[in-house]
Amino acid sequence: MEKCRLLFSGSGGQGVITAAILLGEAAVRYESLNAVQSQSYGAEARGGATKSDLIIWDQPIYFPKVNQPNILICLTQAAFDKYIFSIRPGGTLVTDARFVKNPGLVDARKIELPFHDTVMEKIGKPVVLNICLLGGIIRLTGLVRLESVGALIKDRFQPSFHDINLKALDLGYELMDRQEAGG
């Protein structure tokens, strides 16, 4: 397989770091792959642009940072402005139209999906936005099975949060599935 370098970015509290950890953990524990995940700390992790680096590969991973992501995920305009120029030429940019306006000219495949609006419409709680996004990334990359992340959610989250997170996961997966199938 090709080494997959993902960069999740957004603002503190959106849960982009949790999404990256869940994807990495599912890859390691359920798919026998290697993954390394790191994140920004400090003032920027508490409100400003926050990011998490995740590399998934079937071979040993030594250098753990993502300087040029294959897949760049931006959940705020500030994060988009900060990281857009790091994207690997020919990579994939995933944004939510509600947060990032006019992604403009980049040498990347652009995927704009209404994760936020879908979550608000179908679930009504913005807290599961990151899990909805994660569902989309799972469909996009095909690195881990949806059930693996579902099992992790049940393992890690309080029972009262299982249902809305699993629903958000499915919603994100379906959004991306329609996008990928429809072209």
Footprint of other proteins on this chain (CB under 8 A)?
21, 24-25, 28-30, 34-39, 41-42, 61-65, 67, 151
Nearer to other proteins, 64 or 142 (CB): 64
Residues, the chain:
183
We find the least distance from the C-beta atom of residue 23 to other proteins, in angstroms, to be 10
In angstroms, the CA 93 to CA 111 distance is: 6
| Shortest separation between residue 32's beta carbon and other proteins, angstroms | 8
Closest to 14 measured CA to CA, from 166, 152, 127, 158: 127
**DSSP letter at 158?**
-
Backbone angles phi, psi at 122, to 5 degrees: -90, -25
**41/85 with CB nearer other proteins:** 41
For other proteins, the closer of residues 77 and 141 by Cβ is 141
| CA dihedral sign of residues 114, 91, 48, 10 | positive
In the complex, least distance from residue 110 CB atom to other proteins, rounded to whole angstroms: 27
- Nearer residue to other proteins within complex by CB, 29 or 98: 29
